[in-house]
Amino acid sequence: MKSWKRKWVRLTKTDVYVFDSPTKNTPILTIPLQRTVVSLVASMGDSYLKLDSKKLGKQFIFNAPCKDQAERWVTAINNTIDAGLTRPSGMTQVVHVDFDPNLGYIGLPPEWERFLNEGGITTDEYKKNKDVVDDVLNFQIQRQGDKTNLPSVPAPISQPKQSKAVVEPLPEDVEKVQLKDVTIEQDPREFYSDFEKIGEGASGEVFSAKRKADGIVVALKQMEVNNDNEKLIATEISLMKGCKHDNVVTFYEAFYLPAKKLMWMSMEYMDGGCLTDILENHDIIEMTEPQIAYVCRETLRALNFIHGLHCIHRDIKSDNMLLTNDGHVKLADFGYAAQLNQKQKNRNTVVGTPYWMAPELIRGHDYGVKIDIWSLGIMVMEMAEGDPPYMEFPPLRALFLITTKGIPPLKNAEKWSRDMNGFVARCLETIPDNRADSEELLQHPFMKIACENTDFAQLIADVRKLA
């Protein structure tokens, strides 16, 4: 057998490229993934893998630096081959990063190497946290590549009275629901009047409108429907239809115009804006502990309800906590929400907003409802300090710090009560099994100091005067 020669390998959606040097742009060998079988070669040793290309009529043996890397490559190639057979729009392959002290990062497309460098990941940090860097990078690449992860519009959405909680059965497999199953194929203008634009975001525009039948003012969110977001929108509607609670923004109905590819969601109008509006004025008006405790309690009531339905929200943050002028707080935006079932009690899909994300989600591990509790803990710090931790860093750097350093304590921790510091700590336990759930936190001593909704309404009014 000829002696082994060091080569550099790059995996793409369609091929495996082999290079003589990481600085070369032209590969010396291209192995198409189509009709290729990859496997470990146990008879040769733990670190050997074989690519059997039926298309080329050849077999290629690679000797990886170690068993772990060989297994990673086999998994990555197989996943890429599988994804190529039934690839949804926006899927990306797993990327493995290596580092050479003389050449820098290896196994990374140039644009991602630049991205990693801009994220401020130093060579020392990489050497000490190699697996974490791999996970964080793959996480960020997957987020960038997944075009379906478009957050709904955060916008100011008088609500009719309702019971504290009305439980309607959710579909057994909510993510298989189609848009036609949860929408009305009619123009909303037949049912609503007095349209007035009140917000705009990445996924569409939001209007206030009056329902002709009873004169109730609602929020109508308009979105363009395409192949990338159709499933996401159908899932969001299906979940919102099953979540009727005093602390969840009420969903009324949805209209779909297939010919125009336009969809309208009718929801409760929240005239007090969102929690972010208050936090943007943090330098002028700071939230008090009772006000923070109040928002936490109302959020936990919403989470306790949806978690009881085996639903994860996956995007808890100030933008998604909507307010009324009389001081009520409600959870909105189920664009990232997911339904768990008996067959799938945990998820590993990449969604959410970086600075509020739990470490298990960032690392690509299975996760459950506890990721919402982590995000609540970050939101408490956001209310106390104006911004979430690591907001001064680029997203990739923040993800790296969350997974390696954890979350720093509250600034001026002595300014806040022992109960509040303890509440945050219970939310931000790194190990999910050790993290509190919504039921425990609702009984936490910190909840006892929560203000009344009338006191919170005064805060909303005070902030509005600054506009």
Bridge partner list, 257 = 262
Type and span of the H or E element at 76:
helix 67-85
Q: Which residues fall within 8 angstroms of residue 230, CB to CB, at 6 or more apart?
A: 179
CA max distance for the chain: 84
Which one-letter DSSP state was computed for residue 448?
Answer: G
46 is catalytic: no
Amino acid type, 172: E
Q: How far apart are CA 430 and CA 426, in angstroms?
A: 10
Tokens (6 digits) for 69: 């890397």
Is 221 annotated among the ligand-binding residues?
yes
Bridge partner list, 264 = 222, 255
Query: Residue holding tokens 């525009």?
Result: 205
String of b and e for 402-426 (b: at least 16 CB within 10 Å)?
bbeeebeebeeeeebeebbbebbeb
The answer to whether 158 and 208 are in contact (CB under 8 A) is no
Q: How far apart are CA 292 and CA 455, in angstroms?
A: 12
Tokens (6 digits) for 92: 């990306």
- Choosing from 146, 271, 277, 315, which is the catalytic residue? 315
The answer to whether 208 and 218 are in contact (CB under 8 A) is yes
What is the torsional sign of CA 81, 84, 89, 95?
positive
As a dihedral over the C-alpha atoms of residue 347, residue 350, residue 355, residue 357, rounded to 10 degrees, the angle is 10
Tokens (6 digits) for 225: 């429907």
Provide the annotated binding site: 221
Provide the annotated binding site for ATP: 221
Residues annotated catalytic, as ranges? 315
